[in-house]
Amino acid sequence: MKTILRYIMIGLLLGCLGCSDWLDVRPRTEMKEEDMYATEEGFKNVLIGAYIRLVSEDLYGKNTTVSVPELLAQHWETSTSTTEAKTLDDIRKFNFENSGAKDIVEKMWLQYYKTIASLNNMLAQIDVKKDIFTSGNYELIKGEALGLRAFLHFDVLRLWGPVPRHADLGQEAIPYLTEMTKDPNKALPLSYQQVLEKIRTDLEAAEKLLAKDPIIECKSSVLNLGYGAILSKDFKRPEDEFQYYRSNRFNYYAVKATQARYYQWINEPEKAVECANEVIAAINPDDNTVKFPLADAVIDGTEDNKTGDRIMSCEHIFALHSSILEEIIRPLFIDFDGYSQKLQSIQTAYETAIHTNDIRFDKNNYWEEKPIPVSGRVQNMFKKYWVNGTTSTTLMPLIRVSEMYFIVMECGSLTEAGEKFRAFRISRNMDSSVDNELTDKPAVDRRLEKEYRKEFYGEGQMFYYYKRHRVEQYTWPAAFSVDAAKYVIPRPDSQLVFE
């Protein structure tokens, strides 16, 4: 565990370095880069640095998960007393012309590409230094880097790219960077088709490199205990401490899950179902248990001194860890006057008249009305990211197995949709009266719209459902029109020059 923490601290330092540090041609910096890539340890630290950058406030720590896409999906009400209220309202209304909203999306854009640049710099070095790696870490690190590069470009495409299924393959999309460069001509947007091909290529390469990922042969629960943990049974485990905590890294199954998302996005349903089913069906060879089981309870950390687990960590295929995540989450969801939603709207969303025991709403598991001190005003507070009443989680889920069930429902046959929905419904303790609703594809889509909202509230996925289906009229929490053109977030004015 000490070594893992050391990686994180070194990674945090690396994550704070600007890309100009890598591009500076002065001898001092050249020596720093040469030293960094002289050992396997250096490559590990650079990769951890990329993960640390990803969980920053500008990316998955806040803006690209719990904030911007959730505002676009109309999920949050925000306090009018905050100084950023106008900016948040602009985002909610798809108004990116005003400076506050424009500044937020520009920071998101630049942080995406700075992280991609650091991955590209490492990838440019790794084949030359292949002989320094041990224990399969060359394949592991290169596979993760290529997979992350595809994942990040895909998320950039989902936000700033065209509406899928209605896009002209030749139209301009986003830059896809595969090398470290200061040349702005090499950072120009490619066509939609070119970007899709590059995402596919990187994911396929990552899949091959991660074919022996420890997460395939080892239980996630064992890997998450860390190096040196005493086990009651003789489970398989890696010898290298770096190879633990795989569900917090871009592992083999994260590649398959991203491929499922990708094929769903571009409307290749058979491939989407194949990839999603591989993740769902994954088992632990040691004991034949399901590798990513659906959670059947929300663990409340306020009872019996338990460690709270409202984010359903057993379902995590890819998540990000940060010890400073609480500093970001606290003002949003633990302190008062943060992101909220009306109780009546939430009751409608969770269909509480039908599903009275849904684990996500029952016993105030995800939402709780609390009086604000002094004012006495009541706020409906979102609790998914709480461990208990005063502490937040240190994990941000990016892909969960429940999404794989939804992908099969959307892309598979009606029979497959019914089977997957029943398994999911049982896990969430929803009423069985909805089992016979899925009579045709429109009915499946109507059910999925409701389930995406409930399941991924606060995780940033509902907006992508709307964009994928080009929904022009939101009906929850109130009627809201979205012209198809609005789904393409304006690209920032800034050039991709990393200095």
Closest to 367 in 3D by CA, of 396, 336, 343: 343
Strand pairing partners for 191? 172
Predicted pLDDT of residue 303 = 54
Predicted pLDDT of residue 300 = 73
* Within a domain: 492: no
Do residues 54 and 23 make contact, with C-beta atoms less than 8 angstroms apart?
no
Low-confidence ranges of the chain (pLDDT < 70): 1-32, 80-83, 301-307, 494-499
Tokens (6 digits) for 285: 């060879």
Which DSSP category does 435 fall into? G
117-167 residue pLDDT tens: 999 999 999 999 999 999 999 999 999 999 999 999 999 999 999 999 889
- Domain range for 83 is 2-487
Predicted pLDDT of residue 494 = 67
Predicted pLDDT of residue 21 = 34
CATH number of the domain to which 322 belongs: 1.25.40.390
Predicted pLDDT of residue 181 = 73
Closest to 443 in 3D by CA, of 417, 470, 474, 482: 417
Predicted pLDDT of residue 389 = 79
* Within a domain: 422: yes
Split into its structural domains, the chain has a count of 1
For residues 267, 269, 274, 280, the Cα torsion angle rounded to the nearest 10 degrees is: 90
Do residues 114 and 99 make contact, with C-beta atoms less than 8 angstroms apart?
no
Q: At what angle do helices 40-54 and 2-16 cross, to 10 degrees?
A: 70
Q: Long-range contacts of range 306-309, CB-CB < 8 Å, 24 or more positions apart?
A: 307/387, 308/386, 308/387, 308/388, 308/393
Parallel, antiparallel, or unpaired: how do β-strands 316-321 and 395-400 relate?
A: antiparallel
* Within a domain: 493: no
Tokens (6 digits) for 364: 């105030």
HEC-encoded secondary structure of 143-181: HHHHHHHHHHHHHHHHHHCCCCCCCCCCCECCCCCCCCC
Q: Specify the 3-state DSSP secondary structure of 318.
A: strand
Q: Specify the 3-state DSSP secondary structure of 182.
A: coil
Predicted pLDDT of residue 20 = 33
Non-local (6+) Cβ contacts of 141 within 8 A are 43, 44, 47, 122, 126, 133
The DSSP-derived string for 319-367 is EEE-TTHHHHHIIIIISSSSSB--HHHHHHHTTTTT-TT-TTTGGGSSE
57-78 residue pLDDT tens: 999 999 999 999 999 999 999 8
